[in-house]
């Protein structure tokens, strides 16, 4: 169970980071122009979305049903 929980956290954080990089690449901008606050919001929202689904798929029960 502990290994699955670590996987959920690491994959969620990685997915959030990849989404930030994809947004920067998609809009052909830099982090200075995109604003660190916006990058943080993209990171948190995409990371949270993937966290919810990974919690469901791996049955780690972080989010109780």
How confident is the model over 39-63, as pLDDT tens digits?
A: 999 999 999 999 999 999 999 999 8
Show me where the domains of the chain are located: 2-58
pLDDT of res. 45: 98
pTM score of the predicted model = 0.89
Alpha carbon of residue 15 to chain centroid:
4
Q: Are 46 and 15 in contact (CB under 8 A)?
A: yes
DSSP state of 59: T
State the Rg of the chain over Cα.
Answer: 14
Mean pLDDT of 18-31: 96
């Amino acid at each position: 169970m502990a290994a699955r929980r670590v996987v959920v956290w690491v994959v969620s954080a990685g997915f959030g980071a990849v989404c930030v990089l994809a947004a920067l690449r998609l809009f052909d901008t830099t982090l200075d122009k995109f604003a660190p606050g916006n990058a943080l919001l993209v990171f948190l929202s995409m990371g949270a979305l993937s966290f919810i689904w990974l919690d469901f798929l791996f049955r780690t029960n972080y989010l109780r049903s």
